[in-house]
Amino acid sequence: MSPAAALLALLPVLGSGDAFGEHWYDGRAELSGYRWRGTRYGEPRTGEAVAIFVTEPFSAAQHVKVDRPGEHAGEVVTVLKLNLVRDFQTGIYDYDTMSSCFVDVERFGALKLSFSSSEWCGNVYEELDVGPQGLALAVHSYFQGESATKTLPARADALLGDQLFVWLRGLRALPLAPGETRTFPYLPDAFERRLRHREAAWTDIEVARAAEPVALVLPAGSFSAIEYRLTAGDGRTGRVRVEEAYPHRLLDWTWARGEEQLDSGELTGSKRLKYWELQRQGQEALRAELGLSVPGAR
**Residue 153 DSSP code:** P
* Residue 71: per-residue pLDDT: 67
Judge contact between 87 and 99, C-beta under 8 A: no
Amino acid type, 296: G
Task: Note the Cα 271 to chain centre separation in Å.
Answer: 16
* Residue 75: per-residue pLDDT: 83
Separation CA 28–CA 227 (nearest Å): 27
Judge contact between 210 and 178, C-beta under 8 A: yes
* Residue 1: per-residue pLDDT: 41
Say how many residues make up the chain: 298
* Residue 58: per-residue pLDDT: 84
Separation CA 204–CA 202 (nearest Å): 7
* Residue 77: per-residue pLDDT: 86
* Residue 72: per-residue pLDDT: 66
Judge contact between 261 and 185, C-beta under 8 A: no
**pLDDT by 10-residue block (mean), the chain, 298 residues:** 46 55 94 97 96 90 75 81 97 96 93 96 95 92 91 95 97 97 97 92 97 98 98 97 98 96 97 95 95 86
